[in-house]
Structure 1
Amino acid sequence: MQQLWMGGRWQSARDGGTTTVVNPADLTELAEIQVAGVGDMERAIGMARSTFDDGVWRNQPPEKRAAVLRGAADHIEARIPELARLLTSELGCPIWFSEKAHVPNPVRHLRYYADLIENTPLEEARTDGVNRSLVVDEPVGVVGAITPWNGPLSSPTIKVAPALAAGCSVVVKPATLTPMTIMALGEAFAEAGLPEGVLSILPADREAGNLLIRHPEVDKIGFTGSTEVGKMIARTAADRVGRVTLELGGKSAAIVLRGADVDAMVTALLPMAFSVNGQLCISQSRVLVPRDMEDDVRDALAAAIAALKVGDPLDPATFIGPLVSQQQRDTVLGYLDVARAEGADVAVGGGAAPAAGPGWYVEPTLLAGVTNAMRVAQEEIFGPVMSLITYDDVEDAVKIANDSPYGLSGSVWGSDPEVALGVARQVRTGMVSINGAPQSWGTPFGGFKQSGIGREMGPEGLQSYLEKKSIALPAGTVVA
């Protein structure tokens, strides 16, 4: 039975329960895991507070903290094949994505923040010509990192790496649906020499999770998940002016401009829409096309989607695996019923996929005849579903793209990259890709509107775990 990672070592839960982790592909039981209760969470927070106040980690020089992050990265890297299979088994995402992104990216995050903390000045002397001040960056304190099931290792690392680089102590609450791969991060830091008490990883029940959010000794919450839960966290944190970074939902639009290479667009867009079986907040789930291109794009997308292999996620040829749970599958199927009721046409897919196996499979689906007012165009489905929406001109396309409560990601596809860039500048969203180009490593990740508050990754991700202090200096004070 998997225990809790409490302050740097395995410990049994004292007042929590247990839950069973199920493989969503074949519905076999993977493991019985312990779930933290309120008392367990209180212990972890106490350890984090104590280690932060004592300075056993935050007072370490940046190069020492960097060395520990690099050591953890080495440990994870050595286990990539093993962890990729484990992650695919608990989440159901295809093995190719686990091997390409879900496990290697955390290694890259750890090394990125190791380099960044070594090369970022944490003190700056400023003067107005008469007075002098020293502006100091200090760690924000104790961090509660609450992470979702769709990024079992990558999402926690996006928070843990910059927080530890900054000198914070961290309590991670991963989702109980996928709580196994993340424990490798705790083991990696223990191997690398992180002091005990600085990092805890506790799958927890709702009451214990709420304690982490409202606890007065937790200085900041970093959260990735649904917008509704993010709103609750923001309200709760506001009562004590707690700091928050919120990475929430998305309903991203792919704007196809007249003259775009349809075949190239389809090839590049499918991974952007269906990675992790469509269970990604950055999924390109709305495809906006000129009216006179609708038939061509619909036919090309439908043919490509129909050819995708749905099945065992451990098979390298599989493109679409199962959804994470029966509840998630039922939610997606419910949205497909809503789409039909609202008048959308199912161009391909549209139901469960029992032939793929006994697990929680849904056919990759293209909905045509969708208007942006429909629920399937406004609400996050979180499954392998794309909606095709027509527009009149570029101004109309931008208006439709921005007509959403979300603003996390998006893309623009066109024959002239400069024209596409001009359109991308008008889209109110945190990230935009032109013709499927990947984002540069070190760029910020986050959204506009109800897609969140603040940014992760890049230098912005480090700054979100630092506080500014200004120290007024008497004349003649020498600053090292």
Structure 2
Amino acid sequence: MIHTRVQSLLLEFGISEEPKGLAIGSRWSAGQGADVSVHSPIDGAQLASFAMATPEQVGQATSAARTAFASWRVVPAPVRGELVRRIGDRLRHHKSDLAELVSWETGKITQESLGEVQEMIDVCDFAVGLSRQLYGKTIASERPLHRLTEQWHPLGPIGVISAFNFPVAVWAWNAMVALVCGDPVVWKPSEKAALCGIACHAIAAGVAAEMPEAPPGLLSLVIGDAETGKAIADSPELPLVSATGSVPMGRDVAVRVAGRLGRSLLELGGNNGMIVAPSADLELATRSILFAAVGTCGQRCTSLRRLYVHESIADSLADQLRKLYARLPIGDPKSDGTLVGPLIDENAMVAMQTALAAARQQGGTVFAGEQVTEGVPAGGFYVRPAIVEIAADAAIVQQETFAPILYLMRYRDFDEAIAMHNGVPQGLASAILTNDVREAELFCSPAGSDCGIVNVNIGTSGAEIGGAFGGEKETGGGRESGSDSWKAYMRRATNTVNYSPELPLAQGIRFDLD
């Protein structure tokens, strides 16, 4: 069975049959594993049910990708970029339909879903330009009449494991850059967002089928459970595995990939913090905090979870935030005016209530956070975002709960604020709201935030694709999308060319028989 509206959306993407668990290029195969039932967090309705792929079927995808690599790696990079350009154009055509599917399957409000698809389009544009900029270096040689250079070559098939909260954009960050770098892609989306994965694969594989240069196994999709993800991490045919999700999942992937001396690119927990200084523009601060803390119902990697406010303005800011939280429109994410949709499932709601109970036990004062049942679709798990005023040394602050919980803490001294901000295991996104240039620059300096993303006078959410995305410590250290993150998807070769009649050795070594 498949939900009527979802079925009509899939038809727009060229999918006329029941969903299947495995796709290699445009060839779809039934999964041989257990059934997965995909439900909408909006109202709990079943959207589809079908058999997942097995770990053994992962081998079919990786084998096809390895075969595709042999021809794709020698296709000129600008031609590879042309494939990505066409995928971007097809995404433009399907933007509203794909965004609607994202809302159905993840509960995102329409504006956020449209923004996620736009992010895919932007990444395509970025990757197209990148296809003519895979530059190496020319290095001064110490030997006469020698040329010393670096070249960047395609690495090989890439495994991508993505999470439910950004079901289409994270794949695009990886896949579009990997494609222009010369790498086939094997993708395992979250089974909670399987239909988004199926739709994206159908769009991209359909474009690839129209290009004679693109081999059949260039793009593969595997819908499966955690065991299927482990098979991807274990596969020696995938020299790089990019994984987005929880810290425990990332640890497992890292160990498995390292065990075969492969590379892993990890995007894991956030637990992101913000400092609000006495000089901050409080109107700007409240707007920044609101979107960062409650957008996507607190289910972003970059959601704001820890707020450190100077004691001189803490009462005023807390009062303003409580008033704004009380007015938040919560409900069907597809309805105009809704700003907060549902949590992904019951487990997420239970995790939120468990965290709030722990915060109370640890001396925190909780504002809101309750489940919402009136004025929302039945069957979904809707909550009112919570503000918790608590001491900075409370144990719960060290943990990331994937829900709209904002811990508000006070500080007196700026150095103290930085120390508290950095005193958690995670290190993804950070922000400071201040009009003091010294505080701003210190926060961005080596003595400031220890995160991969450091913002001034904006929130923690909403990273642009032109900058490399990722974080430090338990966040995993990976970088995706912009800047020079493309280097993760390639291998470097150092070339020395001797165009002299002599054979001088490096470091002045002499090795002669005479």
Do they superpose with TM above 0.5? yes
Cα distance in structure 2, aligned partners of 1:331 and 1:324:
12
Moved more, 446-455 or 131-140: 131-140
Equivalences for residues 48-447 of structure 1 within 5 A: 48-52=65-69, 55-99=70-114, 101-122=115-136, 124=138, 127-130=141-144, 131-193=146-208, 194-347=214-367, 349-355=368-374, 356-358=376-378, 359-368=380-389, 370-417=390-437, 419-425=439-445, 426-436=448-458, 439=463, 441-447=465-471
Moved more, 271-280 or 418-427: 418-427
Partner of 2:32: 15
Cα distance in structure 1, aligned partners of 2:483 and 2:216:
27
How far is 1:129 from its partner? 4.1
Partner of 2:4: none
Cα distance in structure 1, aligned partners of 2:396 and 2:193:
27
**Residue identity opposite 2:96 in structure 1:** P
**Residue identity opposite 1:435 in structure 2:** N
Cα distance in structure 1, aligned partners of 2:99 and 2:204:
19
SS at match of 1:178: helix
Cα distance in structure 1, aligned partners of 2:82 and 2:344:
36
Cα distance in structure 1, aligned partners of 2:369 and 2:465:
36
How far is 1:471 from its partner? 2.8
Cα distance in structure 2, aligned partners of 1:86 and 1:403:
39
**Residue identity opposite 1:414 in structure 2:** T
RMSD: 1.8
**Residue identity opposite 2:199 in structure 1:** A
SS at match of 1:221: strand
SS at match of 1:180: helix
- Of 449, 474, 478, the residue aligned with 2:498 is 474
Whichever of the two has the greater Rg, that structure is 2
How far is 1:190 from its partner? 2.5
* Runs of 4+, deviation exceeding 3 Å: 122-126, 416-419, 437-441
Moved more, 203-212 or 107-116: 203-212
Cα distance in structure 1, aligned partners of 2:382 and 2:25:
37
1:459 paired to 2:483:
yes
How far is 1:161 from its partner? 1.1
- Report if aligned partners of 1:110, 1:161 keep a CA contact under 8 Å in 2: yes
How far is 1:59 from its partner? 1.0
Q: Percent identity?
A: 27
SS at match of 1:287: strand
Q: CA offsets, 1:232-252, max 9 Å, x none?
A: 111111111111111110111
- Of 10, 16, 26, the residue aligned with 2:43 is 26
Q: CA offsets, 1:257-300, max 9 Å, x none?
A: 01212222101221112221100111111110112222111101
SS at match of 1:397: helix
Cα distance in structure 1, aligned partners of 2:467 and 2:113:
22
Cα distance in structure 2, aligned partners of 1:60 and 1:125:
27
Moved more, 21-30 or 435-444: 435-444
- Of 38, 61, 65, the residue aligned with 2:55 is 38
**Residue identity opposite 2:93 in structure 1:** A
- Report if aligned partners of 1:95, 1:314 keep a CA contact under 8 Å in 2: yes
What are the ranges of 5 or more consecutive residues in structure 1 without an aligned counterpart?
none
**Residue identity opposite 2:66 in structure 1:** R
Aligned positions, number: 472
Structure 1 152/439 Cα, relative in aligned 2: closer, same or farther at 3 Å? Answer: closer
- Report if aligned partners of 1:3, 1:10 keep a CA contact under 8 Å in 2: no
SS at match of 2:431: strand
How far is 1:377 from its partner? 1.1
Cα distance in structure 1, aligned partners of 2:422 and 2:123:
31
Q: TM-score, normalised by structure 2?
A: 0.88
**Residue identity opposite 1:50 in structure 2:** T
SS at match of 1:56: helix
Q: CA offsets, 1:157-190, max 9 Å, x none?
A: 1111111111011100100001112223322322
Q: CA offsets, 1:285-343, max 9 Å, x none?
A: 11101122221111011111111111001012111111111111111111111111111
Q: CA offsets, 1:219-238, max 9 Å, x none?
A: 11111111111111111111
**Residue identity opposite 1:372 in structure 2:** A
How far is 1:156 from its partner? 0.9
- Report if aligned partners of 1:4, 1:10 keep a CA contact under 8 Å in 2: no
Q: CA offsets, 1:54-100, max 9 Å, x none?
A: x221111011101000000111111111111110010011111111x
**Residue identity opposite 2:344 in structure 1:** V
How far is 1:114 from its partner? 1.2
